Chain A
Amino acid sequence: MPALAIAIVVFLLYGLGYRYYSKYLAEKVYGLEEQYLTPSHEFRDGVDFLPTNKHVLFGHHFTSVAGAAPIVGPAIAVVWGWLPALIWVVLGTIFASGAHDFGSIAVSVRHRARNIGTLAQDVISNRSRTLFLLIIFFLLTLVNAVFAIVISNLFVGFPEVIIPIFVEIPLAIAVGQYVYRKQTPALVPSLIGVAILYATIPLGNAVPIALPETMTIAGLELQDVQVWVLILFLYAGIASRIPVWILLQPRDYINSHQLFIALAVIFLGVIGFTQVVLPEMTAPAINPDVPDDAPPMIPFLFVIIACGAISGFHSLVASGTTAKQLDKETDARYVGYMGSLGEGSLALGAILATGAGLAIVGMDWSEAYASFESADAGAVGNFVEGVGGFGQNLGMTAAFASTFAALVVVSFAATTLDTGLRLQRYVIQEIGGLAGITVLRRNLALVTVIATLIPLALAWFRDLAFEQLWQLFGTTNQLTAGLALSVIAVWVFKRRRNPIAQIVPLVFLLVMTVSVLVINTWSFVVEGEGLTQWLLGPMNVAILVLAIWLVVEAVLSLIRMRGARREEPVDAPDAPSHQ
């Protein structure tokens, strides 16, 4: 089947989802009112609260939620065939993510644009704030670990990308210095930065920097991936301590262009300008020879693909931030739901790249996905090769196209790493405050070391498989989404509307997530050994406890709300004011 046909069908379904399902959510479930006085008007201050044109706000929101994570999950999950991954991405995007992201904005707008952590406290219970912080702690730890492994694997698999990626650091600093010191518009300097970056690709291809497979450092025999992990965390630890405007912000300018260049290469490559024959899906729709080491598709598919189908992280962007800029309440539909569709499009791109793009560069899909371990560890590499194939369709050389794709993924993942470490510091400080451990609140150096060492340990020890870490990351991301869906469901129920649009994805996610956690608890704690047993096992159990805690909180809250609803007038707690 031509990849283009799949892309057309999926975009058609996304269009129908927007046209009909988001309309149903807007009118029947969230009850949006055009005349509702949104926080952007009520608290308008010209700084945080600003009524914003919905197209502008969509641009802010979409670039805030789209990134590297929706690429990895689908690129792994095609091991079961492209169809199951595609079905989950499409249904998840339309029915779960759409309701979740859109709902997070809607409920936040009705609660003074508060963020989801505070909303959980207000709408569910005081304990939910602690639950939220603990979930985020695990989520950030795992994000930092998995992205360090993703980058290290790409450095080993694509040593051609190393020169461009290390050039990007001084380049971003130079762009930042120029823009901030000269006070000049950033468009031209950042575009020049992107051009210089891509101009280094041939240099990277000519001089690939491959470390020896094993080397001895300070008496320790280390694999190349471990050395890269160490270097990455050393970099990220330093990067997370330097002022954001020096590196992080200027790199944002470069990355903001790269996102759209990559999307263009993927979807124009699917059309195939320089080829007469359109790229075909060479991966099986349903894999008849699933590797023996693969876990059961149900429930694992639904945590391996988190971002791209539904991502709890979006609720953090949607509430508290996007909600403060919403001009009309009805704009939440366009901004929130379309943001989900954008993320789903990235996941679609990953499925097409691994399902059709690999064949263009002459790779045998069944060899690339011969085992679950290789599918996991090589997922991003397969995506990179696949995008390289699409790049060839646009007239790029194979070497240039694959290094370009690796560069885009590493650029995004590296920024995630230093932002994640920076943020983890704040979370540890806050948890330290809740637990009464004052040294954690005051000693920034100690907190930085803790924030760095935990994910470093997870990423560095080679007997911890990437697949296990990615699954744990998926479960925590789904739990964050579960918490947000619980908040939205309780709020919808309180307003005497039918919360089925939230309850169904919530129950589905919790059943799948808890199933994975139970299966993994058995395999890690009972059957596992070494670090899997003693590090991942307890972590898995802790996340399972958080999942059960979340279920209890959600059920208690719904029961409590059912009683309160009989006694209160409609919309009493957040009665809408009108313009």
Chain B
Amino acid sequence: MRPRVLLVREWDTQMGGSGCCGRLGGLDSGLCEVDPFPRARAGMERMGVVYRALHEALGDERIELTVVDPRNTVALPPMIYRDARRRRGMGRRDALRQVRRGVGTGAVVVDGKVLHWGTIAEDPDSVVAAVLDELAASP
């Protein structure tokens, strides 16, 4: 089982709030020539740099690299919690702490452990180094 690295940032598909008939404000519906979400787009681009650096350094063979929207309530909190419990053997309290930190734009999570949170990392090399250190330290 490959270590799972989650990068948390907003997805344009999640914009528009109400779902179904309101979810068309994203970039890729073919209806918007201009970008209605420039701020989210900037975050996507910045996290894209981190993503590419990690992918280049580790590749699909060594890690499962996934990008998640912080509003993805179905997947993100359970995934962090489960990984923290099963892959790290953390207690419930610690696992919940990881969830609290991890469900926010900019978070970098390795097998349920949050390495970075709060802002999208400006220096992708530092994220790669932190992930490599974490992978080396993991059992």
- Chain A: residues with CB nearer than 8 A to chain B? 44-48, 50-53, 55-56, 58-70, 114-118, 133, 136, 139, 143, 147, 179-180, 183-188, 243-245, 248-249, 251-253, 255-257, 259-260, 307, 311, 313-314, 316-317, 320-322, 324, 343, 411-417, 419-420, 422-423, 426-427, 429-430, 477
Contacts and interface: CB of A to CB of B under 8 A. Distances in A.
Contacts of A426: 31-34
Interface of B: 4, 10-34, 36-37, 39-40, 44-45, 47-52, 55, 60, 64, 66-77, 79, 99-107, 117-119
A148 to B, nearest CB: 13
Given A48-B28, A321-B13, A311 B20 contact: yes
Contact of A60 (B17, B28, B64, B72): B72
Contacts of A316: 24, 29-31
B87 to A, nearest CB: 15
Across the A-B interface, the 3 shortest Cβ-Cβ residue pairs: A185-B104, A67-B19, A416-B22
B18 A63 contact: no
A67 B52 contact: no
Contacts of A248: 15-17, 25
Given A316-B29, A419-B18, A427-B31, 14 more contacts: A45-B52, A47-B51, A59-B68, A67-B22, A143-B21, A185-B105, A187-B99, A244-B39, A248-B25, A249-B40, A252-B15, A317-B13, A420-B22, A430-B33
B93 to A, nearest CB: 15
A133 B19 CA distance: 20
28 contacts: A47-B44, A48-B27, A53-B4, A59-B74, A64-B23, A66-B19, A67-B20, A68-B21, A114-B30, A183-B105, A184-B104, A185-B101, A185-B107, A187-B70, A187-B99, A187-B100, A244-B25, A244-B37, A244-B39, A248-B15, A249-B40, A255-B18, A307-B20, A411-B18, A415-B22, A419-B15, A426-B31, A430-B31
Main secondary structure, interface of B, reads loop
Secondary structure call for the A interface: helix
B18 A413 contact: yes
Nearest to B45: A47
A423 B45 CA distance: 23
B30 A320 contact: yes
A411 B12 CA distance: 20
Contacts of B117: 185
A244 B41 CA distance: 12
A56 B55 contact: no
Given A60-B14, A429-B33, A245 B20 contact: no
Given A252-B14, A252-B16, A255-B17, A47 B48 contact: yes
Contacts of A422: 25, 36
B104 A321 contact: no
B119 A183 contact: yes
Nearest to A441: B33
